[in-house]
Each structure stands twice: as C-alpha cells, then as structure tokens.
C-alpha cells in the first residue's frame, strides 16, 4: 500500500520545554503540517512540560484526516503561549506501513530542538499520537464544502520597481488551514487555470452552524496584501462568491471563489416538532385533539375511523367460514 487514508490525533507530550519566564503555567498547541495543509490543535494549559490534549479538553483531542503517501512526512510542531516553537516531531511512512484498514496504533515521536552550538538537533521530550487507518477518505458529518480559487485583483501589488507578483492564498476554517500553490508572473490581477489542483480545497463540515467563519488571506511574496471573512452558509448557498479584500481598514480588491457543497448520504437530520423539541409532543396547542378529553388513544381512533370504511359485522357459520350478516 503506497497511498493510505489516515486519521491522526495528538494525545499528549512528555518532557517538553514550553515554559515562559515568570509564568507558572503556559498554554501549548501543536500544528500538524502535511503538504499544503496545516491543522492546529486547541491550546491546552499546562505547567510547561507534560500537556495532555486527550484529558485536558472536555471534547477530547481532534482527529485530523491525512492522505499519506510513501514519500510523505507529517511535521508536528509544538508552540507555547508566546507562539514560540519549542520543538518538532516527524511522522514517516515507515511508522504506519504495516497498518491495515480499521487498525489503530499509538506512536511515540521524538521532539527535536536545535542545538545552540551546531546545526544538529537534540531530543527534548516525546510527543504521543494516535493513528487510525481508514478504508475511505474522511468526510464531514454534515457534508463536504469544496472551494476553488478562480482569480482576483489587488490594487498596488505591482509597481515600477516590481512589475510582477507572486500570489498565494490561505483559507482557514476552525482547526484547518489550506495554502494554495504560488502563482508566479502575475500583475495586480491574478488567475488560476482550469485543471489546477493547487487551488481546490475541501473543508469537512461537522456542524449545522452556518454562521461559522472561513477566512481568506491573499499574499504577495509572503506579504499579506488582503483578507476577508465569510460565513459557511454563504458558501453553501451560492455557486460563485465574490469576496471583497481589505487591508488596514480599506478596500484593496476582491477574489472570486467557486463553491460546491456535497451533503453526505449518511447525514441525519433530527426532526423538529411543533413544540420546538426533538421529542414527539403529547398535544398540539392549535389542534382540536389538544383538549383534555381527547387523549392520544382517542386521537388515533378518530384518525383511523375517518379513513377506514365501516365493514358489516361478520358471523361464523357452521361451515367454518365467515359470511356477512
């Protein structure tokens, strides 16, 4: 197996140095980077050496989907509350090559930090992750939202000194950040060609809350030149969205994004009843059956009798068959 679908979860770390001067507690988080995708764990409070995401978070640690190739590596980098890197760990294909679909495995990775006196690194703690092999690619509980960057315009990206731009875009939703490929040789206007895989990204939607935000940031030579935010609901409802870009409080341009939302077949919608709950009510305020003398059994009897025709009584004859009286 050279390509496999993985779910990866950061569980805990031991013996790392996340301490901040003059602070007894700090917060630690981990970024999980694979190709152009960056996942970010929640920040967990700790004394600075043994953060535990599995036990420290009420909802537990989050599983991140990864499509893993034999040549791939996953880089896990730890940060303290000052957003300072405190070490990196690497997950290689060799760690998971013997796994089969449905199998889960706990893996210990060395956290490495640079030496002050040389370019070599030294170990400073361990990071413990769980990896699960899946038969199919991960999908969102409520659907998959695909965003395809088409093109845009940012005023002033080029000048007399620099007549071309190098554009890249970051899209962020909850714990997931995607980074596009670099568009070289562009001007103030930029355009992705059809068929490019470096401008199409899929967010897994696990909630029905359409007010959650997707953030879009446009960079020129790694310098942020414009950004905007939009709700998930707008991306789900419209096939093409033109987003206004702003920088330092003023409008600088726009970017166009094509969208496609796929409602997964296993999505379940809980019915809502007239009383606003998810339970079947015993009475309906605007119904004649809500009067005290009409209980649920009477309601069902009345409903059945209104549709079923009256059948004459049947008597048993001596022959053993039924005949109408």
Look at the block and give the residue holding tokens 């009420």.
58
Predicted pLDDT of residue 304: 42
Which strand (E) or helix (H) includes residue 57? none
pLDDT tens readout for residues 76-89: 999 988 898 989 99
- Say if residues 23 and 59 touch (Cβ distance below 8 Å): no
Least-confidence region, from 32-41, 57-66, 168-177: 57-66
Least-confidence region, from 118-122, 200-204, 259-263: 118-122
Average pLDDT of span 191-215? 89
Q: How far apart are CA 167 and CA 156, in angstroms?
A: 13
Instruction: Report the predicted TM-score, pTM, of the whole model to 2 decimal places.
Output: 0.75
Least-confidence region, from 31-35, 64-68, 99-103, 120-124: 120-124
CB-side neighbour CA atoms (13 Å) of 6: 29
Of the ranges 13-17, 56-60, 148-152, which is most confident? 148-152
pLDDT tens readout for residues 130-169: 999 998 888 998 999 999 999 999 999 988 778 899 999 9
Enter the tokens of residue 292. 């005290």
Please give the full DSSP string across 24-53, using - where no structure is assigned. S-EEEEEEEEETTEEEEPPPEEESSS--BH
Q: How confident is the model at residue 272 (pLDDT cuts 50, 70, 90)?
A: very low
Q: Which domains does the chain have, with CATH numbers?
A: 3-134 (2.60.40.150), 143-262 (2.60.40.150), 270-325 (no CATH)
Predicted pLDDT of residue 57: 79
pLDDT at residue 286 above 50?
no
Percentage of the chain surpassing pLDDT 70? 77
Average pLDDT, the chain: 81
Predicted pLDDT of residue 117: 64
Alpha-carbon dihedral sign for residues 273, 274, 279, 282: negative
Q: How confident is the model at residue 317 (pLDDT cuts 50, 70, 90)?
A: very low
Which strand (E) or helix (H) includes residue 134? strand 121-134
pLDDT at residue 294 above 50?
no
For 71, which DSSP code? T
Average pLDDT of span 239-248? 96
């Amino acid at each position: 197996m050279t390509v496999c679908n993985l779910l990866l979860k950061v569980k805990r770390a031991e013996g790392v140095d996340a301490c901040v001067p003059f602070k007894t507690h700090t917060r630690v988080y981990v970024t999980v980077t694979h190709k152009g995708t960056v996942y970010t764990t929640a920040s967990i409070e700790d004394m600075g050496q043994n953060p535990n995401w599995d036990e420290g978070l009420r909802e537990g640690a989050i599983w991140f989907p990864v499509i893993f190739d034999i040549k791939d590596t996953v880089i896990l980098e730890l940060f303290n509350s000052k957003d300072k890197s405190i070490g990196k760990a690497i997950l290689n294909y060799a760690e998971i090559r013997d796994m089969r679909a449905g199998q889960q495995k706990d893996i210990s990775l060395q956290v490495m930090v640079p030496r002050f006196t040389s370019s070599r690194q030294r170990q400073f703690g361990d990071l413990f992750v769980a990896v699960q092999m899946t038969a199919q690619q991960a999908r969102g509980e409520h659907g998959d939202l695909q965003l395809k960057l088409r093109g845009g315009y940012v005023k002033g990206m080029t000048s007399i000194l620099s007549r071309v731009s190098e554009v890249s875009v970051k899209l962020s939703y909850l714990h997931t950040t995607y980074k596009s490929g670099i568009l070289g040789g562009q001007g103030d206007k930029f355009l992705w060609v059809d068929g490019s895989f470096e401008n199409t990204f899929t967010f897994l939607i696990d909630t029905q809350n359409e007010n959650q935000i997707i953030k879009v940031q446009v960079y020129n030579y790694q310098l942020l030149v414009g950004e905007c935010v939009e709700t998930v609901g707008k991306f789900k409802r419209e096939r093409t969205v033109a987003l206004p870009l702003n920088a330092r409080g003023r409008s600088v341009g726009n970017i166009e994004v094509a969208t496609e939302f796929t409602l997964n077949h296993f999505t379940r919608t809980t019915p809502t009843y007239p009383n606003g709950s998810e339970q079947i009510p015993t009475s309906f305020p605007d119904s004649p059956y809500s009067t005290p003398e009409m209980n649920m059994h009477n309601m069902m009897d009345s409903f059945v009798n209104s549709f079923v025709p009256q059948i004459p009584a049947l008597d048993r004859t001596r022959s053993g068959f039924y005949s109408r009286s």
